[in-house]
Each structure stands twice: as structure tokens, then as C-alpha cells.
Amino acid sequence: MHRMVVKSIFFGFNFTDAYTNPLLATIDWKNIGGGANFLLVPSGSNVLIDGLVGFTKYKAGLVEKNMDPRTSEIDELSANINFSIFGKENELKYGLELKSLRTNFEFVNPFSIRISQEQNTTELGLYGKYKRILGKLIIEPSTRIQYYSSLGTTTFEPRLGLKLNLNDNVRFKAAAGRYTQNLLSTSNERDVVNLFNGFLTGPESQVTDPDGNTLKNKLQISNHLIVGTEYDLTSSLLLNLEAYYKDFPQIIVVNRNKTSRSQADYTVETGKSYGVDFSVKYEIPKVYIWATYSHGFVKRFDGKQEYPTVFDRRHNLNLLVTYTPDTKATWQISGRWNLGSGFPFTQTKGFYNNLDFLSGVGTEYETENPNQIGILYSDIRNGGRLPYYHRLDLSVSKKISFSKYTNLELNLSVTNAYDRANIFYFDRLRYERVNQLPILPTMSAKFNF
């Protein structure tokens, strides 16, 4: 006899229209998703079968004054089934994953060349992972075989994880692997603050490298290596240190240097990411403290110069403190502080009168007044840095129980408690800056049954 349990059925949505300023920009996000997962437990067997069926719909857009709009949509249907076989000192897990993706993307590069794509694709993945305990050593080799139908490409991706329990307090760990994906993103140098990332699946059209050679394999490829250690300084204090290096031998990007319609819409860059992550966790009755610090570098080479990407944040610090004053944990007081160094952006070199020649060869270019202003960008890509970001959020919550299955949760929170003026948007042409949220108190109530 088998026992099947539907673990959960879920559905969620998020709609956001953020108007920073009627003269500056409108940012629009929409996200809808749902699905169900299940667990099957065969009687008298050491095998577990679980799976998931779900869908997501994501849409983002950015509309600026006197600028072409940018939009990105992703629709995804996914299903997977996993099998887990348990032994005394080993575990085998394998499964199958199927995805159907639709992307719709529209983008304008710094030279006002419009690039758009609507594409449907299907991906099929097979994976297997084996876990073996050999005394103080835990070894986890795994592999994934992925088929991308729109590109007609199959990949083999080996991976390996290791963990050595040196003693009861010290553990060493390492992981390495090869990864591929058929989804790429892009941003625009005209954004001082990166508010829009467009997503699209790997293009079916031609892709050329910086030397003009046509690419055959059009996947995103990366190789990862991570090493670290965990140290239980006391029973309440845990330290964790990790170092990582990620090599990106092939990154498909929208061709920002395209100046004519005869050139390829997409090109190739290489990249690397490396750094260290340090975290501290302290936990005693009623008090929980968690702190992390990251020091990292994210660089790419576009065939002309190496530059920091829009994700390159040199320093990032997070601190979370939670206090539960009563023994039944009905009250909770918490605070979160975040500090981050500025992201890079391409600086402005100057401006020029941009004549659009809408009248064709009959345009009176000698006497006509241009109705647009063009931007000259610095030759150094992402050579500037935004100011530091930091913010403190505070909250107090109270849980009131009416029965075993019904309760009411009340919450009072303050966002940006000391009113830090963090930059949100900057208009190059008007030299206008819009900041993020000021001090924002909120109240909420949630009834659970």
C-alpha cells in the first residue's frame, strides 16, 4: 500500500507600479505564480518520491521621459519528479525536470538601435546525486544532463561536494561544478541606477564574438569553485568563512556596440567573480544575532576592455538582531541594518544635439533645431561609483492565539528608521536625483486558521 500526500498548493501574486516622479520614470513589476507539490511514500520501501508542478508569470517595464520604453516578460511552466533512496551511510537522489519558457523582450541600446525578441523554448533535465559518508568525510558527486530544444544542444555538467568533520567543532567544505543556462539578462549604460534588467532565452539568431566569428554553442557557461570552513566557537556561537572563484568563459549579451542593423544583435563576453563571505551566528534563549560580511569582485571583458558589472558591490554588510522577551514567544522585537558600497555606472562625458532626420533626405539639417539631446558616455565603461547605501528597519510583532489552529499576528514596523537618503533614480539629462523611501511606518494584521 502506498501513501500519497499533497504537501501544499500555493498561489501568489505581486503587482507594483512605482512612480518616482511624473517627469522622470515609471517602473512596473508584475509577478504571478502557483502550483502544487506532492510526496509519495511506498509501503515497506526506503524510496521517497516527490514532485512539483507549477507556473510563474513575470513582467517588468521601465518608461522614462523622452526615452524609449523597455519591457521584459517571462512565462514558465515547470514540472519535476524526484526519487530518493536512503541507506545507512549513503543516499542516492535522481530525477527529471521539464520546463516550458516564453520570453518577450524589447530593448534599446546606447546607439538607439532597437532589439526585440519573442521566443518559446523547452528544456529537459536529468540529474543524479550520490551522498556517501566515509568516517569523518562526506562526499557528494553529482551530474546533470540538460537538453535545450531551441538551440538543439545537450550539456553534461559534473559537480562535486566535499565536507570533512575535523572534530566536533571544526568542519572544512569544498564544492566545484560546471553550470549552463539558456537565460540571459541585459542592462543599459544610460541607467545611472540599474532599475531594469531584461531577460530572454538564448537567441536563435546569429551570435558573433568580438572578432566577428559566428558562435555555434549559444549557452551561458560557468565553472564554480568554493572552499570554506565552519567553526563552533561555543555552543551558541558559529563562525563561517567561504572563499569562491567563478569563471565565465562564455556569456551571451545584447550587442551594446551595435551601430547598424546589419550587425548581430548578440555578442559574447567573458567574466570572472571572486571574493570571500564571512558570517557569525549567535543564538541563546530569547536572543538571536546574525551578521554577514561579503567582499567581492565581478568583472567582464567585452573584447575591448575589462570592466566591473552592474552587480559589482565591493562591500556588503548585514546585521539582524531578534529579541523575544516572553517565555511563550508571543512577542518579537527585531532590527535589521544593511550597509553596501556603491554599484558602478558609466559616467557622462557630454551632450549633443541629436537630429533625428524624420524628414529623410529633405531634412533641413543646417537650419532645423534638434528636438532631442544625445548623451556622450565615458570611454571607461562603469568607471564611476554610486554613494554608499545603508538602512535600518525595526519591527515589533505580537501573536495572539485563540485555539490550537487559529491565531492573529499583529505587526508594527518602521522602514528606514533614521531617514537615510539612499539614491533610487538619477536623470542624466536633467541632473535630477530621486531617493528611496523616507521613514515609513506600517501596521499589518494576519489571521491564521
- Max avg pLDDT among 60-69, 102-111, 405-414: 405-414
CB–CB of 44/3 below 8 Å? Answer: no
pLDDT tens for each residue of 256-310: 766 666 677 788 889 999 999 999 999 999 999 999 999 999 999 988 899 999 8
CB–CB of 340/317 below 8 Å? Answer: yes
Question: Rounded CA gap, 40 and 83, in Å?
Answer: 10
Higher pLDDT, 225 or 377: 225
Q: Which of 284, 294, 282, 288 is nearest to 318 (CA)?
A: 294
Please give the grid coordinates belonging to residue 339: 550597509
CATH fit for domain 41-448, picks 3.20.20.60, 2.60.40.420, 2.40.170.20, 2.60.40.1230: 2.40.170.20
Q: Which of 111-120, 270-279, 371-380 has the lowest mean pLDDT?
A: 111-120
Mean pLDDT of the chain: 84
pLDDT at 184: 80
Average pLDDT over residues 375-387: 89
pLDDT at 290: 97
Is 396 a residue whose pLDDT tops 60? yes
Q: Which of 289, 281, 286 is nearest to 235 (CA)?
A: 281
Question: Rounded CA gap, 197 and 195, in Å?
Answer: 7
Reduced to 3 states, what is the DSSP secondary structure of residue 380?
Answer: coil
Q: Report percent pLDDT > 90 for the chain.
A: 44
Higher pLDDT, 122 or 335: 335
Is 58 a residue whose pLDDT tops 90? no
CB–CB of 386/192 below 8 Å? Answer: yes
Question: Rounded CA gap, 86 and 80, in Å?
Answer: 20
Buried b (16+ CB within 10 A) or exposed e, 129-145: bebeeeeeebebebbbe
Q: Which of 362-366, 403-407, 408-412 has the lowest mean pLDDT?
A: 362-366
Spell out where 203-286 has E strands. 207-208, 220-232, 237-254, 266-284
Please give the grid coordinates belonging to residue 77: 511552466
Question: Rounded CA gap, 92 and 391, in Å?
Answer: 44
Spell out where 109-136 has E strands. 114-134
Is 415 a residue whose pLDDT tops 90? yes
pLDDT at 367: 64
Average pLDDT over residues 128-152: 92
Question: Rounded CA gap, 149 and 120, in Å?
Answer: 10
The alpha carbon of 194 is separated from its chain's Cα centroid by a whole number of angstroms, namely 13
Q: Grade residue 404 by pLDDT with cuts at 50, 70 and 90.
A: confident
Please give the grid coordinates belonging to residue 433: 536625483
Q: Which of 155-164, 319-328, 384-393, 401-410 has the lowest mean pLDDT?
A: 401-410
DSSP for residue 369: P
Q: Which of 80-84, 120-124, 228-232, 236-240 has the lowest mean pLDDT?
A: 120-124
Average pLDDT over residues 172-200: 82
pLDDT at 183: 81
pLDDT at 365: 64
pLDDT at 23: 45
Please give the grid coordinates belonging to residue 332: 518579537
Q: Grade residue 239 by pLDDT with cuts at 50, 70 and 90.
A: very high
